[in-house]
Amino acid sequence: MPTKRPTRYTPQVIDGRSVIQADADSAVSLYRRRVHVAPGELGRLSFSWMVPELMGTADLSRSEAEDAPVRVVLAFDGDRSKLSYKNRLLSDLLEAVMGEEPPYATLMYVWDNRAPLESVIIANRTDRIRKIVVDSGPTQKAIWRLHERDIASDYKRAFAEDPGALISIALMTDSDNTRSTTRAYYGEVRLVGANGQPQ
């Protein structure tokens, strides 16, 4: 992301498993893979992560503290004619700055310090980014957490509409807003299609 220090993503072996170690020092960036999964083929997403320590001042509901030690980020295509005037302007601005068109909608699975489990947090700058809290608070830190999610159901709950095609999956560890340092680990991220087959 222009003007931002990038998070470092490094392959490691932890506890005998291949993982991605993420280190953010007042930093933010994505570790992303492009995909294309049609809406009718969306199935389940499984992922795991481990967070040794939380960032004490992070709060995903406040723009000035909007950091998280771990996020799995799903980007979706969609009908851009449905975007509000404000979101179209923001989309054009982001495209000019980043050199690519931003997604129609972004769904994040996140770990927040305080928000209740399964709550949906709408981003402060745009309602086209919504976050589902799948881990909350410090009680599960320093252990591997495994999650399996129904992508279409989560999207419908977050956005109150049917999803378009899934166009990318990313890991995101950030600490730029709180100007702090954090480390986290991501295990395998796996897509299983609506037919039960790996994608």
Residue 1 lies in a domain: no
How many domains are there within the chain? 1
Residue 28 lies in a domain: yes
Residue 97 lies in a domain: no
Counting every residue written for the chain, the total comes to 199
Q: Does residue 196 have a pLDDT over 90?
A: no
Average of per-residue pLDDT across 50-57 = 96
Q: Tell me the CATH number at 116.
A: 2.60.120
DSSP string, 7-35: PEEEEEEETTEEEEEEEEES-EEEEEEEE
Residue 140 lies in a domain: yes
Residue 89 lies in a domain: no
Q: How far apart are CA 38 and CA 2, in angstroms?
A: 31
Tens of pLDDT, residues 95-151: 777 778 899 999 999 999 999 999 999 999 899 999 999 999 999 999 999 999 999
83 falls in which pLDDT band (50, 70, 90)? confident
55 falls in which pLDDT band (50, 70, 90)? very high
Domain of residue 137, residue span: 8-80+106-192
Question: For a pLDDT cut of 90, what percent of the chain falls above it?
Answer: 80
> What integer pLDDT is reported at residue 121 of this predicted model?
98
Tokens of 137: 């608070």
Residue 183 lies in a domain: yes
Q: Does residue 1 have a pLDDT over 80?
A: no
Residue 30 lies in a domain: yes
> What integer pLDDT is reported at residue 194 of this predicted model?
77
Which stretches does DSSP call E strand in 15-128? 17-25, 28-37, 44-50, 71-76, 105-112, 120-122
